[in-house]
Amino acid sequence: MKYEQFKSRKEFDLNHLISFAYGRLVEDPPENFDARLPAPPFLMVDRILSMTKEGSRGSIIAEQDIRLDAWYFQCHFPGDPVQPGCLCMDAIWQLIGFYSVWRGALGSGRALGSSEILFQGQIRPHNKVARFEVMITRFQDLKKTGSSLAVADGKVFIDDEPIASVRGARVGIFQKIAYTDYPNPSPHSLGGSNREKKGI
C-alpha cells in the first residue's frame, strides 16, 4: 500500500503486520522509514482491530490468538506452561511503536520503559484470544531531534477477562540508528549507551 494509505488505515491484519515486520508493507516509504515490528514468532499480535487519533492522544485495540503449540509454552515452564508476562508487556510496546509510525514518526522504534505493570491473571495453552487495549496519553513529534515519543496506558484481557494493566509505557522512535547491514560489523552493530566511545 502507499504511505498515505498506511497512515489513513484503521485496521491491520496478520499479513499487513508481517509485511511491516519485513519492511514490505509500504510501497513508497519516506526517508528514514526504518521502524519494524518483530517477525514471528516474536510478533505478539495477530491483528489490529482499530486505531484512533485525536490531537496528541489516541487508542489501539489488538488481538493475539493463543496457540497450543506456541514456542513459549514449550519452555516456560516444562510441566507448567504459561505465557511469560513480559510478552504481554512487549505486545503493548510493539503496538505503541506501530502507532507512532502510523502517526508519521520516522526512524527505528525502541522501548523506553514503563511506570507500572500489574498482573492479576495468566495465559495458558487452552485460552483462545488475548486482547490489548492501549490508550495513548501523549504522542509527541520532537522536530528538533528528529525523534518521536509516545506514552500509553494499557490493559490486557484473556478471553474477555482482565489479567494485566500497564501505566506509563514509553516508546521512542529514533532516526539513523537502524542496523540494516547485520551481521556485518558497522557503526550500529554494538549496543550500549555510548557507541562513540567504543571506536565503532
* Active site (catalytic) residues: 76
Beta strands in 76-160 (DSSP E): 108-113, 116-119, 129-142, 147-158
SS3 51: strand
The whole-angstrom separation of Cα 66 and Cα 43 is 12
CA distances from 109 to 22, 80, 94, 105, 178 (A): 14, 33, 9, 9, 9
The whole-angstrom separation of Cα 179 and Cα 158 is 35
Helix (H) or strand (E) holding 7: helix 3-8
All 3 cell numbers of residue 29?
516509504
Measured between its terminal Cα atoms, the distance across the chain in Å is 37
Residue 148 contacts residue 108 (beta carbons within 8 Å) = no
